[in-house]
C-alpha cells in the first residue's frame, strides 16, 4: 500500500505509513473525489402549473395517485432519451442529461424530451379530465453548462446530483417560459440549432449575473434525424478520400453487373464515414438505395434500423395515418413479392407497428417468440431479395455500432443474399471493442465470403489545411492560428469544422466582404462544447477501474511512462490489464519516449486527453499531481 504523502510502499493492511506516519486509509475528501466529477451537462426543468392546487380541491387519497401518474407521464420521455430524473419537488421536475451517463448528443436529447413532456401532459389532462379541477400546464427550461456531478449529502444518505450555475439558470428559464413553451440557454441553442427551430427572445436579466443572458424559444424539431455538427452556411468538397471513394465505386460497379457484396465503412467518429457514402450515392445513382439508421437512444428497440429503413422507403411520417401506412406497405409487398404476400405482409406490418387486418393478425397470434422472430427474418429476406431482383440494391446500415442485438442477428441472417442477388450490404460503424458490432459483422460477412472493409484514417496536415481553406473560402489564415487548429484536430474533419465554428462563435473569425478575417491572436484553443459529449461518452463507456486509470494517466500528461502511472495508481496488479483495454479501445498507443527505458504511452488524441483531464475535480487534480512528484 503506497503512502500518498511520501511514496513509501507499506505492507498490505497497514493503517499508518511506516516511513512518515501518515494515515493510509482514504480521507473523507479522497472518498468524495472518487464519486465526483466536473461534467458538461444539460439540465431540464419542468414547472407544472396547477399541480400544488390539487390538494386544495381533492382529498389526499385522490391527490396522490394523480400526482404519481403525472410524474410518471413526465418522467417517461426523460428516461426514453437517456436522462435521469434528479428530483421532483413541489411543482418542479428536474432532469439531467449527461450525468451520471453521458452521450454525445445530450443537449438534443433534453430538447426532444421536453417536447414529448408537453405532449405527455396534454394526454394526461385528457385522460384525467374528470378528476382534474382544471388542466395542468407545463413550462420548460433547458440549459447546458459545466457542473459538479457526484454524491452529495450526509454519510449514509448521499445521493447523486449536479450542482452549478447551469442548474440555476435552467430553473429560471422554466419559470419565465409561457405555458406549453420550452426556453433554452445560449449553449444549448448553439449545440442544437441544426436539429431544432428556435426563436430568439430579448436577453433575460438574472439575479446574481452582471450581464443579461441570451434566451431562445424552442419552436419545434427539424424533420428527420440530423447531426448537430457542421457549420451553417459553410461547406467543403470532400477532401483526401480518393482511395476510399475508388474502393466504394468499385463495389457499386460490381453490383450493377450482378455481383453482391458486404462492405463495412469503418472509422472513428468525425472521420467522414457518412459523407463518404453520401458522395458515393451521388456519384452512382443507378442502384436502389435503402437506408436505415441506428440511434444511440434506441439501442433497446428491437429491429429499429430495419423499421427505419422501410419507413423511409415508404415515406412514412407522423402525418401518415395507420390506414395509409398499411396501404403503402401492402402495395410494396405486392410489387416485390407478389407470390408471398400472405407470408410477408403480416410480419412487416408487425415490424412497422401498423396493425394488419384480422386475417393477417390471425397468422401471428399462435406464434411463439421464436416463431415470430423466424417469420420476421424470412419476411425481410424475401422483401430484399425481391427488390434486388427488380433492381440492384444497396442496403445502408448507418451508425451500426448503436444497433440492438436483434438487428445485428437479422443483418447477419440476410448476408447470404449477396451470393444470390445483386444486393450490397453497406454498414457504417465505429471500431468499437473486439466483441462489438464490427466484429459481429466481420465474422458474418467473412462466413459468406464476400466481405471487405473500407477504413478511414485521419487527414494529413496538408489535407486538413485544405479543409480549413475551403470552409473559410480563403488561404490567408495566419500560420499560427492554422497550426493551432491542426494541432488540436489531428486530422479529424469533424474536429476541424467544430473548432472553426467555435472560433466564429467566439468572434475570433469574422466575415467581412465575403471573406473571413481574424480579429485577435489565439494562444489556446479549447474543446468546443459540441465535441465534449462525444469525447467524454467514449471515456464513460469504460469500466470504472479502467476509467480511473485513464484519469490518472491524464494528470501525468498526454505522454506518460508506465512506471509513473504505476506509482500514481498504486495498482500494479491490475494496471497491465487496464492498459491493454485502453490500447484495444484506441484511447492510447505506445510511444517512444527519449530517455525512458520502460514502456511509455500517448493519448491517441489531444482532445481526448484534454476532456479526460478537465473532468477531474480541481482538488483531485492537485492530489494526483502530488503523487507524480
Phi first, then psi, for residue 160 (nearest 5°) are: -75, 135
Helices 544-556 and 562-569 pack at an angle, to 10 degrees, of 120
What's the pLDDT score for residue 27?
Answer: 40
| Host H or E run for residue 461 | helix 461-472
Quote the CA–CA distance of 167 and 146 in Å, as a whole number.
Answer: 9
Quote the CA–CA distance of 30 and 619 in Å, as a whole number.
Answer: 9
Residues 115, 106: contact at Cβ < 8 Å? no
pTM, to two decimals: 0.81
Q: What is the mean pLDDT of residues 83-98?
A: 92
Q: CA-CA distances (angstroms) from residue 59 to 53, 66, 91, 134?
A: 12, 11, 18, 16
Nearest to 85 by CA among 113, 66, 63, 52: 113
601-621 per-position pLDDT tens digit: 999 999 999 999 998 888 888
Q: Cell 396547477 belongs to which residue? A: 50
Grid cell of 118 as nine digits: 408537453
What's the pLDDT score for residue 28?
Answer: 33
Quote the CA–CA distance of 210 and 233 in Å, as a whole number.
Answer: 33
Coil vs helix vs strand at 8: coil
341-397 per-position pLDDT tens digit: 989 999 999 999 886 677 677 777 777 888 889 999 999 999 999 999 999 999 999
Q: Cell 447531426 belongs to which residue? A: 227
CA 444 to the chain's CA centroid: 26
- Percent of the chain scoring above 90 in pLDDT: 58
What's the pLDDT score for residue 23?
Answer: 47
Grid cell of 625 as nine digits: 499531481
| Host H or E run for residue 73 | helix 60-80
What's the pLDDT score for residue 506?
Answer: 83
What's the pLDDT score for residue 14?
Answer: 52
Quote the CA–CA distance of 454 and 291 in Å, as a whole number.
Answer: 18
CA atoms within 13 A on the CB side of 80: 15
CA atoms within 13 A on the CB side of 103: 20
Q: Look at residue 36 and tell me whether its pLDDT is greater than 90.
A: no
222-279 per-position pLDDT tens digit: 876 555 555 666 788 999 999 999 999 999 999 999 999 999 999 999 999 999 999 9
Whether the ω angle into residue 100 lies within 30 degrees of 0, i.e. cis, is: yes
- Percent of the chain scoring above 70 in pLDDT: 90
521-570 per-position pLDDT tens digit: 887 888 888 888 888 888 988 888 999 999 999 999 999 999 999 988 87
Coil vs helix vs strand at 15: coil
Q: Look at residue 6 and tell me whether its pLDDT is greater than 60.
A: no
Q: Look at residue 157 and tell me whether its pLDDT is greater than 80.
A: no
| Rg, the chain, Cα only | 27
CA 94 to the chain's CA centroid: 21
Quote the CA–CA distance of 65 and 67 in Å, as a whole number.
Answer: 6
Phi first, then psi, for residue 94 (nearest 5°) are: -115, 125
Mean residue pLDDT of the chain comes to: 87
The pLDDT confidence band at residue 25, using thresholds 50, 70 and 90, is very low
Quote the CA–CA distance of 483 and 188 in Å, as a whole number.
Answer: 29
> Max Cα separation, the chain?
85
182-232 per-position pLDDT tens digit: 999 999 999 998 889 999 999 988 777 778 999 999 999 987 655 555 566
Residues 387, 422: contact at Cβ < 8 Å? no
Quote the CA–CA distance of 179 and 407 in Å, as a whole number.
Answer: 40
CA 106 to the chain's CA centroid: 7
Q: Look at residue 101 and tell me whether its pLDDT is greater than 80.
A: yes
What's the pLDDT score for residue 382?
Answer: 97
441-499 per-position pLDDT tens digit: 999 999 998 999 999 999 999 999 999 999 888 877 888 889 999 999 999 999 999 89
What's the pLDDT score for residue 140?
Answer: 97
Grid cell of 512 as nine digits: 467581412
Q: Look at residue 33 and tell me whether its pLDDT is greater than 50.
A: no
Q: Look at residue 31 and tell me whether its pLDDT is greater than 70.
A: no
Q: CA-CA distances (angstroms) from residue 525 to 64, 390, 532?
A: 52, 53, 13
Amino acid at each position: 500500500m503506497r503512502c500518498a504523502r511520501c511514496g513509501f510502499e507499506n505492507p498490505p493492511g497497514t493503517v499508518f505509513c511506516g516511513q512518515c506516519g501518515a494515515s493510509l486509509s482514504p480521507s473523507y475528501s479522497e472518498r468524495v473525489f472518487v464519486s465526483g466529477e466536473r461534467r458538461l451537462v444539460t439540465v431540464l426543468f419542468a414547472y407544472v402549473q396547477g399541480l400544488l392546487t390539487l390538494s386544495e380541491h381533492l382529498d389526499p387519497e385522490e391527490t396522490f395517485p394523480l400526482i404519481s401518474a403525472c410524474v410518471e407521464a413526465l418522467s417517461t420521455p426523460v428516461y426514453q432519451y437517456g436522462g435521469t430524473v434528479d428530483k421532483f419537488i413541489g411543482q418542479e421536475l428536474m432532469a439531467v442529461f449527461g450525468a451520471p451517463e453521458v452521450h454525445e448528443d445530450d443537449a438534443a436529447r433534453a430538447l426532444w424530451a421536453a417536447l414529448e413532456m408537453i405532449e405527455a401532459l396534454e394526454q394526461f389532462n385528457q385522460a384525467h379530465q374528470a378528476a382534474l379541477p382544471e388542466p395542468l400546464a407545463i413550462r420548460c427550461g433547458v440549459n447546458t453548462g459545466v457542473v459538479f456531478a457526484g454524491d452529495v449529502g450526509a454519510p449514509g444518505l448521499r445521493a447523486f446530483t449536479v450542482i452549478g450555475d447551469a442548474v440555476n439558470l435552467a430553473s429560471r428559464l422554466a419559470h419565465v417560459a409561457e405555458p406549453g413553451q420550452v426556453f433554452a440557454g445560449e449553449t444549448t441553442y448553439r449545440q442544437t440549432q441544426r436539429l431544432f427551430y428556435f426563436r430568439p427572445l430579448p436577453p433575460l436579466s438574472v439575479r446574481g449575473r452582471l450581464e443579461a443572458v441570451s434566451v431562445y424559444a424552442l419552436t419545434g424539431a427539424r424533420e428527420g434525424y440530423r447531426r448537430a455538427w457542421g457549420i451553417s452556411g459553410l461547406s467543403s468538397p470532400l477532401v483526401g478520400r480518393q482511395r476510399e471513394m475508388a474502393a466504394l465505386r468499385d463495389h457499386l460497379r460490381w453490383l450493377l453487373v450482378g455481383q453482391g457484396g458486404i462492405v463495412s465503412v469503418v472509422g472513428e467518429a468525425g472521420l467522414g464515414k457518412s459523407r463518404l457514402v453520401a458522395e458515393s450515392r451521388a456519384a452512382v445513382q443507378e442502384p436502389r438505395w435503402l437506408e436505415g439508421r441506428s440511434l444511440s437512444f434506441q439501442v433497446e428497440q428491437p429491429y429499429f434500423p430495419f423499421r427505419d429503413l422501410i419507413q423511409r422507403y415508404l415515406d412514412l411520417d407522423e402525418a401518415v395515418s395507420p390506414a395509409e401506412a398499411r396501404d403503402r406497405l401492402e402495395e410494396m409487398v405486392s410489387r416485390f413479392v407478389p407470390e408471398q404476400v400472405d407470408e410477408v405482409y403480416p410480419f412487416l406490418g408487425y415490424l412497422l407497428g401498423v396493425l394488419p387486418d384480422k386475417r393477417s393478425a390471425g397468422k401471428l397470434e399462435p406464434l411463439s417468440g421464436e416463431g415470430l422472430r423466424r417469420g420476421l427474418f424470412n419476411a425481410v429476406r424475401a422483401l430484399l431479395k425481391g427488390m434486388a431482383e427488380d433492381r440492384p440494391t444497396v442496403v445502408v446500415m448507418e451508425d451500426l455500432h448503436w444497433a440492438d442485438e436483434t438487428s445485428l442477428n437479422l443483418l447477419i441472417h440476410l448476408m447470404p443474399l449477396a451470393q444470390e442477388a445483386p444486393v450490397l450490404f453497406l454498414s457504417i460503424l465505429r471500431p468499437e471493442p473486439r466483441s462489438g458490432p464490427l466484429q459481429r459483422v466481420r465474422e458474418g460477412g467473412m462466413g459468406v465470403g464476400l466481405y471487405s472493409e473500407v477504413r478511414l484514417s485521419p487527414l494529413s496536415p496538408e489535407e486538413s489545411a485544405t479543409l480549413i481553406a475551403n470552409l473559410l473560402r480563403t488561404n490567408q489564415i495566419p500560420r499560427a492560428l492554422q497550426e493551432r487548429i491542426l494541432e488540436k484536430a489531428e486530422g479529424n474533419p469533424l474536429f476541424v469544422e467544430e473548432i472553426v465554428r467555435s472560433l466564429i462563435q467566439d468572434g475570433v473569425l469574422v466575415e467581412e466582404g465575403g471573406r473571413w478575417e481574424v480579429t485577435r491572436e489565439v494562444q489556446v484553443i479549447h474543446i468546443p462544447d459540441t465535441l465534449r459529449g462525444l469525447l467524454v461518452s467514449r471515456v464513460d463507456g469504460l469500466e470504472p477501474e479502467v476509467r480511473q486509470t485513464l484519469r490518472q494517466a491524464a494528470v501525468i500528461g498526454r505522454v506518460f511512462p508506465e512506471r509513473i502511472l504505476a506509482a500514481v495508481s498504486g495498482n500494479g496488479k491490475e494496471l497491465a490489464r487496464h492498459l491493454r483495454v485502453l490500447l484495444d479501445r484506441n484511447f492510447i498507443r505506445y510511444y517512444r519516449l527519449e530517455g525512458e527505458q520502460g514502456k511509455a504511452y500517448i493519448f491517441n488524441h489531444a482532445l481526448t486527453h484534454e476532456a479526460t483531464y478537465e473532468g477531474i475535480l480541481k482538488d483531485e487534480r492537485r492530489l494526483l499531481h502530488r503523487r507524480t512528484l
